Amino acid sequence: MTGLPFDPRRFAGTAAFYERYRLGFPDRLLARVANLLDLKAGDAVLDLGCGTGMLAVGFAQLGMSVTAMDPEPDMLAATRAAADAAGVTLTIVQGSSHDLAPGMGPFALVAMGRSFHWMDRAATLSMLDRIVTPHGGVVLFHDTHPPVEENGWFKILRDVQDKFGRAAAPHAVERKGGHRRYEPFLFASAFTQLDGLSVTIRKDLTVEEIVGRALSMSSCSPQRLGTQQQALETRLAAALRELSPDGTFTEVAELVAVLARRPNKT
């Protein structure tokens, strides 16, 4: 596959922050995906770019036979630990979308949580067409923050991250002149029947949790920041305290799943 230069260790050092501070995807959202695709116990699911195993563990708990795949060893270690804690069994594979091959699977579902934008999206979908079962699908998960007053902290987080390099991250640079959504890639692939599913949550947040969220991202990982980590933490915490002196915040977030299938043939 071709595309952006690929750094398999871009998330090195973030696993602990990712596991603790990133939003998980609600069980009911995964169940809706499984029901819409009519998945059965034992069906093969691939979590591509599994991170700390949020989706892999969730689908395994629904009874699926799950393969969790990620290029970052620390993420895979966190996935193993999460699976052990949940009492489920996963097949763990170190690799990325570049390592997909025709002999893999076949899978009834390939899930990607906040990982598709890192890939050569057209090439990945082309390969997935070869390893997803005829009635299977691809589901892309992400989260978004509506522009409501309670999410004022989110703009502060983004602004501080930009000052420390988020805006220069490879996928951010590429998307400035390219597609910002999934649909153009999906409609150019075999998976053109799209269903959007979402769950909106509202939860309390602290300064510590927002700073941890920043450090969970590859553009502001401790490894990338180096000696600038303390500066980011201090600057972000100070800006947040200006917004809320008592250090309490509310997060309103929409957790989204876009399920893509091949069109029905009559």
- Identify residue 53 by its one-letter amino acid code: G
HSE-up of residue 4 (Cα within 13 Å, Cβ side): 19
In a domain, 193, yes or no: yes
Residues 141-151: what's their mean pLDDT?
A: 96
In a domain, 7, yes or no: no
Number of folded domains that form the chain? 1
Render pLDDT for 3-45 as a digit per residue (tens, 0 to 9): 434 565 666 567 888 889 999 999 999 999 999 999 999 999 9
Handedness of CA 128, 56, 257, 151 (dihedral sign): negative
The number of residues in the chain equals 266
pLDDT recorded at residue 5: 46
Q: Which domain holds residue 103?
A: 15-261
Render pLDDT for 168-193 as a digit per residue (tens, 0 to 9): 455 444 554 444 688 999 999 999 99
Q: What CATH number does residue 151 fall under?
A: 3.40.50.150
pLDDT recorded at residue 180: 64
In the beta sheet, which residues pair with residue 112?
Answer: 140
Render pLDDT for 33-43 as a digit per residue (tens, 0 to 9): 999 999 999 99
Residue 66 scores a pLDDT above 50: yes
Q: The sheet that has 132-144: what strands, in order across it?
A: 91-94, 65-70, 44-48, 107-113, 132-144, 248-261, 193-206
């799209």: which residue's tokens? 194
Which tokens belong to 131?
């390893």
Q: What is the DSSP string of 178-218?
A: S--SSHHHHHTSS--EEEEEEEEEEEEEEHHHHHHHHHTSG
pLDDT recorded at residue 181: 82
Render pLDDT for 72-122 as a digit per residue (tens, 0 to 9): 999 999 999 999 999 999 999 999 999 999 999 899 999 999 889 888 999
In a domain, 4, yes or no: no
pLDDT recorded at residue 1: 38
Which tokens belong to 264?
């029905």
pLDDT recorded at residue 13: 67
In a domain, 51, yes or no: yes
In a domain, 10, yes or no: no
pLDDT recorded at residue 14: 73
Q: How far apart are CA 1 and CA 83, in angstroms?
A: 30
pLDDT recorded at residue 11: 63
- Identify residue 17 by its one-letter amino acid code: F
């070869």: which residue's tokens? 130
Q: Which residues, 6 or more positions from 146, have their beta carbon under 8 angstroms from its beta carbon?
A: 200, 252, 254
In a domain, 201, yes or no: yes
Residues 146-169: what's their mean pLDDT?
A: 87
The percent of residues above 90 in pLDDT, for the chain, comes to 76
Residues 250-254: what's their mean pLDDT?
A: 98
Q: How far apart are CA 262 and CA 260, in angstroms?
A: 7
**Mean pLDDT across the chain:** 90
In a domain, 9, yes or no: no
Q: How far apart are CA 15 and CA 78, in angstroms?
A: 7
In a domain, 199, yes or no: yes
Residues 197-214: what's their mean pLDDT?
A: 96
